[in-house]
């Protein structure tokens, strides 16, 4: 019988599968959204902790005015992007709905969340294989980003309308939100600022998880949000997808 064992000098041959997961509108939204969040966090921090005043005629530098302008512009971009992304969750492919409409009544989904929690805690020996987001990523983004982002948009427009004065923004956002927070504008400012730090923590964990999974999991993560294609490092069947 011939020896079929591979010699050390023979290169290891692997096959890599790929599936188109993230459509162009989702990828574009993701990176524009990331840029908007960076601008919002930096400008929001400076609004809450203003920089040292610049001497001279204010009209010559308009420092704080530019900080507020970039904050408001990025916030409006975030809001428009959120509306468009929600619409795309209905007209896009099956993976477009994951973070907006997760299968909360599915037992398999919650078992997947538990497995991923154990995997991130180094209590599982091997990761599962998903085409789209894993269940823990889905529920985390649904709660912290979708609902957290909606909270930031609503409170942000409420504070913006307060400065703008009477108008549709003031009527639609400022009045109702002020009433919910006991007609205390400073309370809205405090919760809005606290929400910024929640988003910052989410971004840090999100980036860590993406890099970690790109190295340790059985599928590509970071490159998928650039090309749209999810590639797999083995030919084993995909686990129950979201």
Residue ranges of E strands in 32-117 = none
Which is nearest to 92 in space by CA: 144, 172, 23? 23
Would you state the pLDDT for residue 164? 87
| Residue 39 · residue 77 · CB < 8 Å | no
Residues of the chain with confidence (pLDDT) below 50? 1-8, 10-15
Which is nearest to 23 in space by CA: 98, 80, 74? 98
Place of tokens 């005629």: 57
Would you state the pLDDT for residue 16? 53
17-20 vs 229-232, strand pairing mode: antiparallel
Q: What is the mean pLDDT of the chain?
A: 89
Whole-angstrom Cα distance, residue 206 to residue 200?
Answer: 10
CATH code linked to domain 17-51+61-232: 1.20.950.20
Question: Residue 230 — φ and ψ, nearest 5°?
Answer: -95, 120
- For 117-142, letters b (16+ CB in 10 Å) and e give eebbeeeeeebbbbbbbbbbbbbbbb
| pLDDT, tens digit (0-9, with 9 covering 90-100), for 65-114 | 899 999 999 999 999 999 999 999 999 999 999 999 999 999 999 999 99
Would you state the pLDDT for residue 14? 43
Whole-angstrom Cα distance, residue 54 to residue 136?
Answer: 47
**Prediction pTM value:** 0.85
18 pairs with which residues across the strands? 231
């Amino acid at each position: 019988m011939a020896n079929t064992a591979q010699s050390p000098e023979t290169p290891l041959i692997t096959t890599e599968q790929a599936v188109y997961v993230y459509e162009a509108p989702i990828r574009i939204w993701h990176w524009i959204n990331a840029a908007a969040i960076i601008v919002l966090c930096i400008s929001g921090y400076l609004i809450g902790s203003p920089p040292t005043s610049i001497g001279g005629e204010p009209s010559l530098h308009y420092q704080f005015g530019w900080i507020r302008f970039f904050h408001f512009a990025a916030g409006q971009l975030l809001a428009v992007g959120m509306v468009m992304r929600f619409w795309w969750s209905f007209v896009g492919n099956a993976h477009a709905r994951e973070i907006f409409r997760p299968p909360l009544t599915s037992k398999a989904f919650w078992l997947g969340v538990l497995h991923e929690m154990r995997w991130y805690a180094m209590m599982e020996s091997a990761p599962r294989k998903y085409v789209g987001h894993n269940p823990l990523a889905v529920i985390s983004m649904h709660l912290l980003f979708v609902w957290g982002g909606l909270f930031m948009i609503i409170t942000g427009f409420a504070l913006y309308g307060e400065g703008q004065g009477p108008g549709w923004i003031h009527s639609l956002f400022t009045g109702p939100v002020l009433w919910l927070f006991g007609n205390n504008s400073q309370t809205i400012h405090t919760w809005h600022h606290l929400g910024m730090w929640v988003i910052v923590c989410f971004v840090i964990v999100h980036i860590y998880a993406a890099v970690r999974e790109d190295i340790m999991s059985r599928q590509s993560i970071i490159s998928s949000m650039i090309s749209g294609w999810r590639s797999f490092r083995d030919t084993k069947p995909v686990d129950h997808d979201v």
